[in-house]
Amino acid sequence: MGSVAFDAIETPFGKTDKIIGGAGTYIALASSFFVNDQKIVAVVGDDFPQSMLDTLRSRGVDLSGLQIKKGEKTFFWSGRYHNDMNSRDTLVTELNVLEHFDPILPASYQSTQYLMLGNLSPQVQRTVIERLENRPKLIAMDTMNFWMDIAKDELLHTLSMIDLLIINDEEARQLSGEYSLLKAARVIRDMGPKYLIIKKGEHGALLFHGDQIFFAPALPLEEVFDPTGAGDTFAGGFMGFLAATDDISFENMKRAIIAGSALASFCVEKFGTERLTEITKAELEQRIDEFVSLSAFEMAQSI
């Protein structure tokens, strides 16, 4: 679940009018490379294009939990990237249909085993957990500074109910009040999630569980055109991979991180969701191989 949205994006390379975005959209598209029975919980207005709904459906996404509100407007977000492409400013957030979103879970959603709570109000994220009669095998969640600023208590409550939090380094620092990511990881895991992934943009991602840490690189790319949705694509790919392999061991989470990172590396090559809807499974497999060889090495001799 997550926002299904219109975005307007400005990067040093160009600017878009309203294009389709939203955390839920990226998550669903990314996970569709690994599973074909994923279900979405979201809300849009009747201004949302049918073509994207058709695309999602054709990729196996069950849309029966997607509400389309007559006469209302879809969530709108606008952001501008700085020259380094790692940081951005939010210019506009118009909640529109999200303001009074009451997530409805059709009966067919009750067997969900892998739940990805994409970026949305923490109260709505919690409602989805509460409306599932059986606890999924893994509940993962994303959030952002927007919710830390306006709904910190709600956020802490939801955090206490999940297994895995996926956030970026800046958000981890804000949430924990710690600059060191190791210290931040400890503080955040004390809030509830046993697992934590901290994304570091072009510098890869860290996975924490117990005393274990895994670091995955990001693929060095010649051009990053638009990073919007890379985080959600990562999360969707990660969860899709875990769901397809049905294995939540630390070792398998390492593989899932590489799968998510590979998909995210495609996402940034064009504006919005465009690149994700073009790539083939073969291209994805080739990129996963590039990730593996990027940091695989053997020590020639002992020291």
Residues that bind ligand AMP (CB under 6 A): 3, 5, 7, 21-23, 77, 93, 119-120, 144, 146, 228-232
User: In the block, which residue shows the tokens 């998909």?
Assistant: 263
User: In the block, which residue shows the tokens 């307007």?
Assistant: 8
Q: CB 272 → ligand AMP: shortest distance, Å? A: 8
Closest to ligand AMP by CB, 112 or 228:
228
Q: CB 42 → ligand AMP: shortest distance, Å? A: 10
In the bound state, the residue with its beta carbon closest to ligand AMP is 21
DSSP 147-215: HHHH-HHHHHHHHTT-SEEEEEHHHHHHHHS-SSHHHHHHHHHHTS-SEEEEE-GGG-EEEEETTEEEE
d(CA 213, CA 221): 25
d(CA 55, CA 59): 6
Closest to ligand AMP by CB, 144 or 244:
144
Q: CB 79 → ligand AMP: shortest distance, Å? A: 7
Q: CB 20 → ligand AMP: shortest distance, Å? A: 8
Closest to ligand AMP by CB, 5 or 172:
5
Closest to ligand AMP by CB, 154 or 247:
154
Q: CB 12 → ligand AMP: shortest distance, Å? A: 16
What value, to the nearest 5°, has the Cα angle with vertex 20 and ends 44 and 123? 45
